[in-house]
């Protein structure tokens, strides 16, 4: 998935330099963290006199914020990059930069055209972008792919680029220390570091003042958030952090992503249960239902302990929904392992899931030690079976909602009809309902009258 940043030139308030203001176009690939990183990048660039444009043909500088998690994500970004490199032929002044997770590995991937990329910046060098662009103006390629053990961009106020002004994202940590054997993230984003909680609280308070109604706290593994106050020696963990964030405004919903099954504690589950405005939804990637495969993946939990955590979440937080990520066809996966994934899906009763075929990533432990030996057509078939099963589970889960009433936070117009709005329930299900006099940002009580596997259909009961 790629997104162009939505913008409003006033928002970018470029510095009055007396010189021509350079126009910046940013395109983002990949996850929510990348989306939030692009907002940090725009903030840095704005403070250095750039204005944002929604049209790449208008831009003086194009930055592509890339994702390396699977081969097809990289291919998509590389195709787009080749298009921008062609543009440079027509407009020689144009500078093209590749930033984010693909930056470090880019030179090898672009053996022939690599030198035509003007700026290469890894996820920890966004503060240096203005100076890298200046360096590239001198005609040479400007590169900074160093990873940091400290950078969290805590003091930078991201320029909000969401369309609706209702929901926003706040990164609370960066990097990952888990080294799941298939995953490139610890190599592309570096070691895990938590952000100063006071800067998180300030950012959330500002969002509440601006009228935002929902904030999602982001990290690769939020459950291992930890910060020690130097002056007092006091420590705050994720349960402590989210509980403070939830107390900023009762009108603001709080979500978080992603949780690691090995670290999700009862303490956190009880904290969620205690706060009405912390959403009743946990994204808990399982990856596989086979303990043998989970060990090869270096996930740090078994099938049994994963299911125990799902049961604990449902018991401690009544009505909690659980979603997941699943990888089909990991190294040495047998039909029996695959079958275990399917039975685990049934047992856990996932409400929704993101499902992928295993994609070998260079430099990971799996790439070094485990042959990618499940044939392509077998991976495809297993993935299709997983998707089909999840569609059935999602439909069954949605069917149970008929007749119930949920408080939905309206986010915007539904894609299908201008007379309908869409929003989400606390347990993260999308509901579509007739507009009435509800506006995006309002909470509305919605009676569920129908469903598809992806959406609840409802009508307004009354306005809260
Ligand atoms: N191949 C396929 N899927 C992957 N993911 C991470 N690395 C890979 C890979 N090499 C998936 C995992 C993770 C999600 C963000 O992406 O399911 O939870
Ligand atoms: Fe990758 Fe595992 Fe870290 Fe998630 S927890 S980012 S899958 S290494």
Q: Do 409 and 345 belong to one domain? A: no
Q: What is the pLDDT of residue 19?
A: 65
* Cβ of residue 359 lying under 6 Å from some atom of ligand 1: yes
180 located within any domain: yes
What predicted TM-score, i.e. pTM, was given to this entire model?
0.93
The ligand with the least distance to the CA atom of 188 is 2
150 located within any domain: no
Question: Mind listing the pLDDT tens digit for each residue in 323-350?
Answer: 999 999 999 999 999 999 999 999 999 9
Q: Do 295 and 346 belong to one domain? A: yes
Q: What is the pLDDT of residue 462?
A: 61
Q: Do 17 and 129 belong to one domain? A: yes
424 located within any domain: yes
Q: Do 221 and 264 belong to one domain? A: yes
Q: Do 262 and 382 belong to one domain? A: no
Say how many Å lie between the CA of residue 6 and the centre of ligand 1: 27
- pLDDT tier, 5 (very low <50, low <70, confident <90, very high otherwise): low
Say how many Å lie between the CA of residue 361 and the centre of ligand 1: 10
CATH number for the domain including 48?
3.40.50.12160
Strands 405-413 and 420-424: antiparallel
Rounded distance between C-alpha atoms, residue 380 and residue 358, angstroms: 10
On the question of pLDDT at 117 being above 60, the answer is yes
Q: Are 257 and 214 in contact (CB under 8 A)?
A: no
| Structure tokens belonging to residue 76 | 């998509």
The ligand with the least distance to the CA atom of 325 is 1
* Cβ of residue 309 lying under 6 Å from some atom of ligand 1: no
* Cβ of residue 325 lying under 6 Å from some atom of ligand 1: yes
Q: Do 344 and 419 belong to one domain? A: no
Question: Mind listing the pLDDT tens digit for each residue in 264-320?
Answer: 999 999 999 999 999 999 999 999 999 999 999 999 999 999 999 999 999 999 999
Domain enclosing residue 446, as ranges: 405-460
CA-nearest residue, atom 9 of ligand 1: 359
Q: Do 193 and 237 belong to one domain? A: yes
* Cβ of residue 240 lying under 6 Å from some atom of ligand 1: no
The ligand with the least distance to the CA atom of 259 is 2
Q: What is the dihedral of CA 427, 429, 432, 438, to 10 degrees?
A: 30
The number of domains in the chain is: 4
Q: Do 112 and 14 belong to one domain? A: yes
On the question of pLDDT at 103 being above 70, the answer is yes
Say how many Å lie between the CA of residue 266 and the centre of ligand 2: 21
Q: What is the pLDDT of residue 111?
A: 62
Domain C-terminal end among 144, 176, 193 = 144
Mean residue pLDDT across the chain: 93
Q: Are 316 and 270 in contact (CB under 8 A)?
A: yes
| Residue 201: half-sphere exposure toward Cβ, Cα within 13 Å | 14
| Residue 197: half-sphere exposure toward Cβ, Cα within 13 Å | 19
User: At CB < 8 A and 24+ separation, what contacts does 11-18 make?
Assistant: 11/52, 11/159, 11/160, 12/42, 12/46, 12/50, 12/51, 12/52, 12/159, 13/46, 14/46, 14/49, 14/50, 14/51, 15/47, 15/48, 15/49, 17/49
* Cβ of residue 330 lying under 6 Å from some atom of ligand 1: no
47 located within any domain: yes
Q: Do 383 and 431 belong to one domain? A: no
Question: Mind listing the pLDDT tens digit for each residue in 211-248?
Answer: 999 999 999 999 999 999 988 999 999 999 999 999 99
Residues with CB under 6 A from ligand 2: 176, 178-180, 183, 185-186, 220-221, 260
- Of 234, 183, 190, 230, the C-alpha closest to 73 is 183
CATH number for the domain including 315?
3.30.750.200
Residue 54 backbone phi and psi in degrees, to 5: -90, 0
Rounded distance between C-alpha atoms, residue 378 and residue 329, angstroms: 7
Domain C-terminal end among 279, 306, 341 = 279
Q: Are 195 and 173 in contact (CB under 8 A)?
A: yes
Mutation test of ligand 1: which of 283, 325, 376, 383 has the most ligand atoms closer than 8 Å to its C-beta? Answer: 325
Q: Do 262 and 341 belong to one domain? A: no
- pLDDT tier, 390 (very low <50, low <70, confident <90, very high otherwise): very high
């Amino acid at each position: 998935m790629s997104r162009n940043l939505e913008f409003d030139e006033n928002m970018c308030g470029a510095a009055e330099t007396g010189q021509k203001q350079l126009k910046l176009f940013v395109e983002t690939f990949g996850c929510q963290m990348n989306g939030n990183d692009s907002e940090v990048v725009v903030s840095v660039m704005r403070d250095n006199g750039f204005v944002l444009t929604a049209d790449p043909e208008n831009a003086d500088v194009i930055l592509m914020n890339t994702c390396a998690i699977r081969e097809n994500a990289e291919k998509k970004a590389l195709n787009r990059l080749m298009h921008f490199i062609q543009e440079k032929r027509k407009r020689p002044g144009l500078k093209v930069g590749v930033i984010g997770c693909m930056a470090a590995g880019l030179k090898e991937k672009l053996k022939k055209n690599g030198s035509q990329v003007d700026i290469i910046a890894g996820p920890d060098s966004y503060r240096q972008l203005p100076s890298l662009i200046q360096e590239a103006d001198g005609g040479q390629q400007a590169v900074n792919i160093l990873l940091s053990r400290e950078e969290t961009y805590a003091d930078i106020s991201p320029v909000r680029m969401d369309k609706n002004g209702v929901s926003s994202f706040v990164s609370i940590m960066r990097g990952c220390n888990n080294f799941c054997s298939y995953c490139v993230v610890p190599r592309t984003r570096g070691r895990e570091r938590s952000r100063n909680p006071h800067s998180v609280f300030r950012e959330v308070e500002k969002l509440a003042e601006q009228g935002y109604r929902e904030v999602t706290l982001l990290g690769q593994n939020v459950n291992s958030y930890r910060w020690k106050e130097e002056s007092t020696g006091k420590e705050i963990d994720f349960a402590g952090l989210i509980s403070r964030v939830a107390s900023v405004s009762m009108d603001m919903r709080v979500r978080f992503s992603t949780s690691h099954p090995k670290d999700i504690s009862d303490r956190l589950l009880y904290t969620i249960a205690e706060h009405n405005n912390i959403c009743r939804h946990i994204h808990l990637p399982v990856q596989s239902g086979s303990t043998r495969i989970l060990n090869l993946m270096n996930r740090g939990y078994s099938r049994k302990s994963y299911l125990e955590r799902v049961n604990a979440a449902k018991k401690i937080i009544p009505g909690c929904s659980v979603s997941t990520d699943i990888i089909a066809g990991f190294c040495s996966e047998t039909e029996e392992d695959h079958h275990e994934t399917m039975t685990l899906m049934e047992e856990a009763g996932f409400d929704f899931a993101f499902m992928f075929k295993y994609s070998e990533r260079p430099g990971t432990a799996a790439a070094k030690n485990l042959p990618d030996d499940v044939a392509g057509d077998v991976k495809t078939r297993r993935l299709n079976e997983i998707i089909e099963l999840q569609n059935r589970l999602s439909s069954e889960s949605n069917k149970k909602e008929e007749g119930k009433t949920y408080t939905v936070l309206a986010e915007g117009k539904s894609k299908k009809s201008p007379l309908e709005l869409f929003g989400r329930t606390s347990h993260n299900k999308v509901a579509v309902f007739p507009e009435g006099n509800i506006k995006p940002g309002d909470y509305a009580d919605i009676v569920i009258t129908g469903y598809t596997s992806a959406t609840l259909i409802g009508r307004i009961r009354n306005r809260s």
